[in-house]
Amino acid sequence: MSDLTLRAKELDAADALAPVRSRFVLDDVVYLDGNSLGALPAHVPDRIADVVRREWGELRIRSWEESGWWTAPERIGDRIAPLVGAAPGQVVVGDSTSVNVFKAVVAAARMAGEERTEILVDAGTFPTDGYIAESAARLTGRTLRAVTPAEVPDALGPRTAAVLLNHVDYRTGRLHDLPALTAAIHAAGALAVWDLCHSAGALPVGLDAHGVDLAVGCTYKYLNGGPGSPAFLYVRRALQARFDSPLPGWNSHAEPFGMKPSYDPAPGAVRGRVGTPDILSMLSLEAALDVWEGVGVDAVRAKSLALTDFFLACVARYAGDRVESVTPTAHGERGSQVSLRCENAGDVMKRLIQAGVVGDFRPPDVLRFGFTPLYTSFAEAERAARVLGAVLG
C-alpha cells in the first residue's frame, strides 16, 4: 500500500460520518457526481411503493388529507429549512429550480419599486438562471446587466432592483461570499436572490442569519431527492406579506377550494406554491431527507473540506502537472467539488467512467468531481485520483 492509501484508511477509520454511508444504495463504483444527482437512500423504494400501492392505490383521493399530501410542500420545506439556516415557515417545496428562480426574481423586482430599473445577474451563472433573469427583466420593464460576483459591490447603485447570484459556481466549485455580498446589496437598497443548487446540503448557508431575501435550490444533488425532484423556494419572513408571485395559482390562494375568480394570496411561504404538487417526487424527497437524522451541516462541511483537501493532495501526487485545479484552495472559497482542467477532458472522463470512477465533464476542458460527505469515503477519493493518474498515462 502507498502512504496515501494508508492515510485514506486512517481518515476513514476516524470519520464520524462513515456510518451514514450504509443509508445509501452504493456499489464498487467511485461515485463523484452527487453534485449532479445524489445517490439513492436505501429506504426510499419501500416508501414510494407504499405511497403508490396504499396511499394512491387504496386511499386514492382521501390521501390528500389522510396521508398529508396537501401540506407536503410546507412540511418538507420545514425539513429543508435547517439545512440552509432558515427557521420554519419560510421554505416551500415545489416546481423546478427554473420556475422558482422566475418567481423569486420577478417578485424581487416588484418589491424593489418601479424607480429601481436594473437587475444584476451573475455573469458565470448556470445558463438557465441567465435566461430566466433576462425574461424577468423584460416582463418587469427592467434592464439586465451581467457582472461577476466580485464586481457586484461596484456595480450596485440606486437603480439596482435585485441581484441574482450563485452561492457556488457550478463549473469551478468556487464558493462566493454570501454574507458580504448580501450586505452590500442591502446597503444599496436592493434585494438579494441566491441560487443554492450547489450548496444546499453540502455546507452551511445561513439564510436567516445573513438576511437573505429570497433563495432557490434543487433537491436532487446533495439532498439526494431523486431525478427531477422538486426544488425549494425561500422567502424571508419579513417579506412574505409583500411577496407578489408572477405565477398565482389555486394552490397559493387563501381559499384554494373557494374557486373565486379573483386572486387572494395565502399568508406566509404558501404563496410560493402554484399548482397541484408532484406528489410522487415530493414524497420521495421527503423520505430521502431521513438520511439527515442525527447529521449536522457543520460536520458535513468539515468532512467536505477534508475530502477535497485530500483529493487535491492525491491528484498532485498521481497526476502532477497533467491537470490544473480551477477550484480555489482556500476553504472559504471552495464548495464541495473539485474541478480539474486538462487536455481532451471529455475523453478522459469517458475513460474514468469505464474504469469505475464517475464524475462529469463540462466543455471545453473541465473534469468535475463532486464530494458528498454523507457517503463519499477517503478511500474513494484516493482511488479516484490514482485512476485519474493512470488514465492520463
Which active-site residues does the annotation give?
Answer: 126, 195, 220-221, 368
Of 201, 164, 155, 159, which is closest to residue 182 (Cα–Cα)?
A: 164
CA dihedral 268, 272, 278, 281 (to 10 degrees): -80
Give residues with Cβ within 8 angstroms of 167, minimum separation 6: 175, 176, 178, 194, 195, 196, 198, 199, 205, 335
Give residues with Cβ within 8 angstroms of 357, minimum separation 6: 29, 30, 32, 383, 384, 387, 388
Burial (CB < 10 A; 0-12, 13-18, 19+), residue 299, is middle
Q: Is residue 13 within 8 Å of 199, Cβ to Cβ?
A: no
Helix (H, G, I), strand (E, B) or coil at 26: coil
Neighbours of 66 (CB within 10 A): 10
What percent helix, strand, coil does the chain show, rounded to 5?
45, 15, 40
Q: Are strands 337-341 and 366-370 parallel, antiparallel or unpaired?
A: antiparallel
Neighbours of 33 (CB within 10 A): 21
Q: Where do the H-state alpha helices sit in 87-217?
A: 97-112, 127-140, 152-155, 178-187
Helix 378-392 and helix 3-13, axial crossing angle in degrees, nearest 10: 160
Neighbours of 111 (CB within 10 A): 17
Query: What single-letter amino acid sits at 21?
Result: R
Query: What single-letter amino acid sits at 182?
Result: T
**Would you give the end-to-end CA distance of the chain in angstroms?**
20
Q: Rounded to an integer, what distance in angstroms lies between the CA atom of residue 231 and that of residue 95? A: 6
